[in-house]
Amino acid sequence: MDILRMTELYKRFGDQEVLRGLTLSVPEHSIYGFIGKNGAGKTTTMKMILGLLKADSGSIVVHGEPVVYGQTSTNQYLGYLPDVPAFYSFMTAREYLHFCGKMTGFKKAEGEARSQELLELVGLGDEKHRIRGFSRGMKQRLGIAQALLNRPKLLICDEPTSALDPVGRKEILDILVAAREQTTVLFSTHILSDVERICTDVAFLNNGVVEIQGKLSDIKTRYRSREYCIETENEEDLLALRQAFPAMKPLDQNSLTFCEDALSPFDALRFVSDKQIPLRKLERMEPSLESLFLEVAQK
């Protein structure tokens, strides 16, 4: 089942057309990476999902209910973490979650229990300092806890790791993986290594439309490279291969690449066997998200 469906979304600001028929489906209990360069329309799309921005045309459905601008009934199914979350800095993390719980309608005991559960999840269970002293990473973790407070069906995170150091990024990504047990996660980013680390599904946004979307494993299979990499033990054998097969191109010190269209890997293996050349590896090169992203972004 799809927790979120967007169909033919259009949005224009003045003479700038930001979305041009965006269509996207997010499966339930996935970790969905919404990929696009800065200014691609990711934040605009998320504001539309939240009912904070009106689409010029198109439809958005969350958990089977249509999203209507200005009427936020579908937000009961959503949790949202902006790229720079804001808090009452004089509160502690626990006080802030208790406050949010009261606004959500939790009874005192229920709110305290849920707050403790979430603080443990995000690694702030023993934190007693006031929020004004929190690092950027701690604020992001508290923001995730607040966004999960009402047990949303869909957790939306806008660039949650963009300003964090490697340790902070890993912590946030680990929390999002853990949160998948409770909800579906949609997060926008341009940090492709984060997507490859945790995402089950992805969508590439470019020029206001989704160019590629689906399960990450399926996308890598669909765009499977026809290039191979061959690595030898020494430079002499590398030179022998290059002389025998001009289609092979240097990759690094002991590696060559070649395209299946120009050279059969079986011909290369036959030569290696006849000449008894020891190999370190011969493998098909898997497409990287970076190469796919650059291909999409250059359209």
Alpha-carbon distance 186 to 80, whole Å? 10
Q: At a CB cut-off of 8 Å and minimum separation 6, what does 283 contact? A: 228, 229
Alpha-carbon distance 254 to 248, whole Å? 12
Least confident of 10-14, 62-66, 106-110, 243-247: 106-110
Report residue 217 as tokens.
Answer: 């494993």
pLDDT tens string 248-286 = 988 877 888 888 888 888 999 999 899 898 988 888 877
**pLDDT at residue 208 above 90?**
no
Report residue 164 as tokens.
Answer: 């964090």
Average pLDDT over residues 161-187: 89
**Mean pLDDT, rounded, of the chain:** 89
Average pLDDT over residues 177-188: 91
Alpha-carbon distance 165 to 39, whole Å? 23
pTM over 0.85, yes/no: no
**Of 237, 232, 244, 228, residue with least CA distance to 279:** 232
Query: What does DSSP assign to residue 63?
Result: T
Strand partners, 213: 203
Alpha helices by DSSP H, 50-181: 93-104, 108-121, 136-147, 166-179
pLDDT tens string 135-173 = 988 999 999 999 999 999 999 999 888 878 888 889 889
With contact defined as beta carbons under 8 Å apart, do 4 and 49 qualify? yes
